[in-house]
Amino acid sequence: MPFQPTKTLTAYVMGDALKEAVKNLFSPEFRNRLDAVVSFNNLDEQITLQIVQKEMEEFKQQLQGKGISLKLTGRCLKWLAQKGFSPEYGARGISRLIQDKIKSFFVDEVLFGELAAGGEARADIVKDEVVIRIKGSERI
């Protein structure tokens, strides 16, 4: 039976590597001021999806105040979670992606367009891009 590292062993190795990195990077004077060094686990797909859902719920609440309802397909939510996540930066890109792909559409539509008096919109993914359709509109 081949050796399989356990989570505990992996945590020890990562902890040792982290301690060594802190030791090499910071002066002893600075290290003495640290109370603790905290490392975080990587985000999984489910957590990233929950972050997207939370951000979108907040935006949908803002739209409801203007008489607009927004529905997002599961495919759209999953796409935002996948595209907004990076192994290096985690979920930091989600807000920017939502701003670029969802919120920017509503700026002109709410102020001067078809949603100025309220309405319904639906976001989906078509050919790997976010497409927002306004109910009753011929325009995409």
Per-residue pLDDT reduced to its tens digit, 50-93: 999 999 999 999 999 999 999 999 999 999 999 999 888 888 99
Q: Where do runs of H (alpha helix) occur along the chain?
A: 7-25, 28-33, 45-64, 74-84, 93-98, 104-111
Listed range (112-116, 119-123, 126-130) with the worst mean pLDDT: 112-116
Residue 47's pLDDT is: 93
CA gap 103, 96 in Å, rounded: 10
pLDDT band of residue 140 (cuts 50, 70, 90) is very low
Q: What is the DSSP letter of 113?
A: S
Q: Is the dihedral of CA 118, 130, 54, 104 positive or negative?
A: negative
- The CA-atom distances, in angstroms, between 73 and each of 53, 79, 126 are 11, 10, 11
Choose among 97, 57, 100: nearest CA to 80: 97
CA gap 112, 83 in Å, rounded: 30
Three-state DSSP class for 100?
helix
Residue 5's pLDDT is: 45
